[in-house]
Every structure is written in C-alpha cells, then in structure tokens.
A and B are shown apart, each in its own frame.
Chain A
Amino acid sequence: MTRLPVLLAAQARFPAPEFENYTLPRMSLEELASDSVLWRVLVLGVFLAVGSLCFYKWRSRKAMLAYSLAGLAVLGFLFASCPCPVGMFQNVAQGIAGGSYIQPGVLLLFALPLAVALFAGRIFCGGACPLGAVQELLHWKSVYIPRPLDRILRLIPVLLLLVFTVCALFGIGFPLCYFEPYLPVFLLDFASPFAILSAVFLILGLFVSRPFCRYVCPYGVLLRFFSMFSALKPRITAHECVNCRLCEQGCPNGAVLPPENAGTAAQHRAGSRRISMLVACIPFALAAGGLFGYLGAPVLSSFHRDIRLLNELEAGIRSEAVEAFESSETTEAELRARVVKLQNGILLASTAAGVLFGALVMAELIAEARRRKEEEIYTIDPSLCFCCGRCYAACPLERKEKHHEK
C-alpha cells in the first residue's frame, strides 16, 4: 500500500452539509471521568487498620491469611491493582521535579503505608499490597537462601529505587510500573508478552518466599527503613520464650533473629577491627559508586524519548518517531537544546545516585558487622517482617494457649 500523506491539522476540505430532516448524532463520550484514586486511599486506610488489628491484637496466622486474601480480591482484582502505592514514589519524584500529575490521591497512596510503617511496621506488605498478597498466598515450600546471598540480593531494590527515581525525575518513564510482573495477573490478561514475567515470578514465588518483595520492590526499601522506627514491635509469644527455635525455622523471610549473647572480649576486638576497616573503605565505596553512576548515565539517557529521537535523527534512521517529529512544529535546534539540558541533568543525578548507592551499601555492611543488642529470646526484626503471622502459628506456647481458649 502506498503511504498516505499525513496531514496533521484537521482540514475542513468539505463543508458540513446542510440537511433538511437530520440532526447530528451526539458523540457518545462521557464528559466526566470517574477518579478511583481517592477511593483506593480510603479502602487502603481501612485495610491497614484491620491488618494492624489482625497482627497485633488477634495475633493469628489465619486472620493474616484472610487479610491477604481480602487484599488480593479487593485491591488486586476489583481495583485492578494499578495505580498502587508501590509505584507512587515515581509519581512523587516526577511531581517534585515539576511534572504535572501530582495529586492528593497519589500523595496519600504514597504516604499512608509509610506513615503506618512508622507505628505498626510493614502491615502494608502483609496483604494490603496486592503484589505482596499474591506472593503470600502462592507460596508452597521455602527454599533456604544463604545469608550472604540474601544480603547481596537485598541491595538490588536499593539500586532499583535510585535508578527508577532518576528515571522518573527526568521523564524517562516509570520502569517499575512498566515491568510490574503481577499486572497481567490482576488484569487476567495472559496473552500479553509481560505474562512471561508474571509466570517467572509466580513460579519462583512457589519456592522462594516473596521474591518480588525481598529482591525487587523499591518501595520496600522505604518501608524497610521506616519500619525500623516502628512504635509497635511484634512479639512472637507473650509467654516466657523457651527458645525452641521453631519460629526461626517457620519464618521464610529471615525476619526472626536468634538470641544474641554478650560475646567475649576477643570477639569484640575482632568486631571493632572489622568495623574500622569498613569505615576506612567508605571513601572508596563512594568513589566507585559515583563512577558507576557516571558511566551508567548514557545508558539511562538512551531510554529517554527525546534523546533517542535525536540519535535516530542524526544517524539518519527513518523511524516512525523521526517521521512524526518532522511533521511536527518543533525544530531540530529546540530538540537539541532540550536534549543537552536533559543529558547534563541525568549525568549529575546518576552520579549522585551512584554515590548514594555506595554509601547505602557501606551502611548495610556496617550494620551487618555490628553486634546486635543483647537478647535472650528469639525476636522479630520489624524491618524484614512482612507480617504474615507464621511465627505465631509456629510457636508451641501460642498454640497451647489458643487450644486452651477453645
């Protein structure tokens, strides 16, 4: 077929005819779009409140399962998952950078789970997050992930948070929402090419507990940080702990910490030596991170629409984007000026993000090298706890009490 000349402006080549017995049909377009975001915020608030009750008051695994099931049904399938708080950090970043769609609903979706994390830990992850709920319910057998590997994999979300924030700041896009692996599940669209990603994560999730939450989710990094200061701390049992270790084995997320003894003087010396060595490494880590960010900037830039367009234009590629650009009113000089500004911005932000990543890696290493506070019983680390309630179910003392109540 020959290409038709594309004329962008609507042209009134033919005047509207004057009819005798004919009225123009109305266009069937709704004049007002219903905005579900504030509804989502309301439902999310209710969910978080009920979830906190289930976890801290009723202390029941069954209640937490019901909570995830409800979360999956309502926030996952009924509200079609998107937009959800997990991706909102990108909207907030773009809004702060001068983007246009910063709205009360978006900000509330972003802030509410974090505010709750300050008081009740990661209740959001437990089931109000549809992505967390689907992973919680579709988990079969836990494969043990060695601690060092877990700690290394846990840095991926930190990196993703920084990279995606830079992407959102400069209008490259919202990669997290683009590649969100569970969206095809919630939309029940298994024909889309992204359904392969869903399948990978769902199958992985059968054996590895919450693979997305632990090793991908950038919002989880924020939640992890905020829940460190949580006012409410979950206790595995209200009774005298007998240190049977069943809760530690029951937790698939590595959130149950074993008792910590006071340690010998030799251990203390070795510990402080390790920490001082790590502190000495900080400048190198920052420099390496900065270099990494500096070198990564061109890669990030190449995903930006305008930069890609200019590259294609200069290389003489006749892509659809180039043809669309040529028929638009923007001149090449304007585009070039915009691209230069963008490239500089991305370079700066990416380098800064790299330095920050280096700092965060070192912080993680130092936190790992430090001795924990002395503790005689098994405790929960609220920053890693996804509030699933498995430890309550595993604890023999809790079970005994539940049995007596009946």
Chain B
Amino acid sequence: MTRRDMIRTGLLALIAAPFAALFRKRGETGTGYFWQIDPDKCVQCGKCETECILAQSAVKCVHQYASCGYCLFCSGYYQDKRIRFNTAGENMRCPTDAITRTYIEDPYFEYRIDEEKCIGCGKCVKGCLAFGNGSLFLQVKRDLCKNCNECRIAKACPADAFVRVPADHPYIYRKPPEVKS
C-alpha cells in the first residue's frame, strides 16, 4: 500500500463521516426538505407573489372548506372599501378574479379558488383572517414548486414562516383540520 492509497482511504472515510449524522435522533418537526408555509406564522406580506424564482409563484391560496363559515359577506371576497355587495371589479378583494362564489342555500355561499388565476398575493387570506374564520391560507403547491435548495421566498419572509416538511406530510393545515371523507 503506497502513501497515495492511504491518503485515498483516509479521504474516503472523511466523506463517509457525514453519513453518521443520519443516525442521530431528530425531532418530529422540520424534518424533510420540502418548503412549506406555516399558516399560523404567515403575515400575508405579499412577498410570496414576488420573490419566487418561478415566473408564476408556486405559492397559491388554498381553501379549507371544513373551517369556512360560508359567509354571505365574505371578507376574503369583498374589499373593505367596496361600494356595493356585488361582483363588480371595484368591490373585489382578489386582484386577478381567482375566487368564484356559488350560491348553496340561503344565506350561505361557497368560495372556490381558481388556481390558474391565483398569484399567491395573500390579500384574500388577510381579509379572511381579519373578519372570518381563516379558512383561506397560502401554501406552496408541491406540483409547482421546484424545491430550490435555498428558497428565495423563505429568505425574504419577514415572519420566518417557511419551514421544511417531510414528504409524507407536505402541507400544513389550519386547525381544525379538514375532516377526511
């Protein structure tokens, strides 16, 4: 065995050493490497819309129907300074008209997010939180996100709301969680 071989073996052992970290005991939270927004920390600053490396942000508004109040005057749907409660553009909260409203039964309405139109600005989330149940919240869509090693939004997030989640629970729901059917 030459000196060169010995150095090589030593270096191989060196790069194998970090694998030992795999066996260390780890906490439940924050494991895995999928970026996700913790809706309880999110302050709807609007950075999700602008900071994502993708041309169309991978962050979208999602609706947890189970915690929705199906309000007639939804504060995620209507703007604060609305002129009338009708669907004219100046009354709407959403800048891209991504929320559709359907009549269910008196006086309840269902609100759906059109993901194609949603830009992840979080305006409706802010509105819903202010006067409603907080059933609208922002999430990083797993099918859109490139899962960059360093998420640009996470870097810019003022509330430190971006966390890493494991592959088998890639979304963080609002409480109370949705009842599975």
Contacts and interface: CB of A to CB of B under 8 A. Distances in A.
B12 A101 contact: no
A261 interface: no
A26 B65 CA distance: 8
B178 to A, nearest CB: 6
A316 interface: no
A226 B11 contact: yes
Contact residues of A: prevailing secondary structure: loop
Contact of A100 (B31, B108, B155): B31
Contact residues of B: prevailing secondary structure: loop
A35 B164 CA distance: 13
B146 A327 contact: no
A320 B53 contact: no
Interface string A98-115: 001111101100110011
Given A33-B170, A95-B18, A26 B11 contact: no
Given A1-B80, A22-B104, A319-B158, A187 B146 contact: yes
Contacts of B150: 87, 173-175, 177-178
B127 A17 contact: no
Given A4-B126, A12-B133, A100-B164, A173 B15 contact: no
Interface in B112-171: 112, 115, 126-127, 129-135, 139, 141-143, 146-150, 152, 155, 158-160, 164, 167-171
Interface residues of A, number: 80
Contacts of A12: 67, 133, 176
Interface in A95-151: 95-96, 100-104, 106-107, 110-111, 114-115, 118
A192 interface: yes
A191 B55 contact: yes
Nearest to A97: B21
Nearest to A176: B150
B66 to A, nearest CB: 6
A101 B33 contact: yes
B63 A27 contact: yes
Contacts of A111: 15-16, 18-19
A23 B21 CA distance: 47
A42 to B, nearest CB: 17
Contacts of B158: 319-321, 323-324
A6 B43 contact: yes
A333 interface: no
Nearest to B168: A32
A34 B63 CA distance: 23
A33 B139 CA distance: 13
A8 interface: yes
Nearest to B81: A1
Interface in B1-24: 4, 7-8, 11-12, 15-16, 18-19, 21-22
B53 A101 contact: no
A327 B158 CA distance: 12
Given A27-B63, A95-B18, A102-B21, A4 B130 contact: yes
Contacts of A74: none
A82 B65 contact: no
A202 to B, nearest CB: 17
Contacts of B148: 82-83, 177, 183
Contacts of A95: 18, 21
28 contacts: A4-B126, A10-B40, A10-B174, A14-B69, A16-B67, A16-B68, A19-B108, A22-B105, A25-B110, A27-B64, A31-B168, A91-B149, A95-B18, A96-B18, A100-B27, A103-B32, A110-B15, A114-B11, A115-B15, A118-B12, A189-B55, A191-B55, A192-B53, A192-B55, A229-B7, A231-B8, A320-B158, A323-B43
Give 5 closest A-B pairs by Cβ, nearest first.
Answer: A14-B69, A10-B134, A324-B159, A177-B150, A320-B158
Given A8-B41, A22-B104, 5 more contacts: A8-B43, A34-B167, A106-B33, A118-B8, A324-B43
